[in-house]
Amino acid sequence: MADYKNEFGLFAERPKVEKKLFDRNKVIAGLVIFIVMITIPLWQNLGKIVAAPVPSLDTPVIKKLAEKDKKCVMPKEWMRANHMQMLVDWRDNVVRTKEPNVTISRGREFVAPDGKQYLASLTNTCMECHSNKVEFCDKCHNYAAIAPNCWGCHLETGKKMAEAK
């Protein structure tokens, strides 16, 4: 065995260090178990298809409407894809650009493509027909894992402020 200098410049014997080799089989087994545990959710759901929910449009208010009045503010397919942006635009126009000392500002009116005017209001326009939040809103939002912040300010139809808190 060759000698080497230590920190004092003296020669000394090389320290004897026990050679510890890792047990390759245990390391591989541990990695396999770790990978299996991490990927269990993927394996459990492999090949499963969850059908997209179909929101119920058979609310009492919609049933009472005449056939010609059973139209939403925008076409159904457009609403499915863009309702969130429309509601954000309504909110921004109504809440953030409201003119002082004016009950109904210019931002509170929404004109549909067919020319019909609506009040730009989630509670007073949308929830008037789509009154069942659980059946109409929550079905799709839960499926898509989305938590909209609408209900921080708006109450569900029929709920009082004390119940909401």
Domain ranges within the chain, ordered by starting residue: 3-45, 60-164
Q: Among all chains, which residue has been given the structure tokens 């000392």?
A: 101
Q: pTM for this one?
A: 0.60
Q: Give the mean model confidence (pLDDT) for residues 99-113.
A: 63
With beta carbons less than 8 A apart as the criterion, state whether 110 and 87 touch. no
User: Residue 102: is its pLDDT beyond 60?
Assistant: no
Mean pLDDT rounded to a whole number for the chain: 79
Distance CA 62, CA 71 (A): 9
Pairing of strands 3-5, 11-13: antiparallel
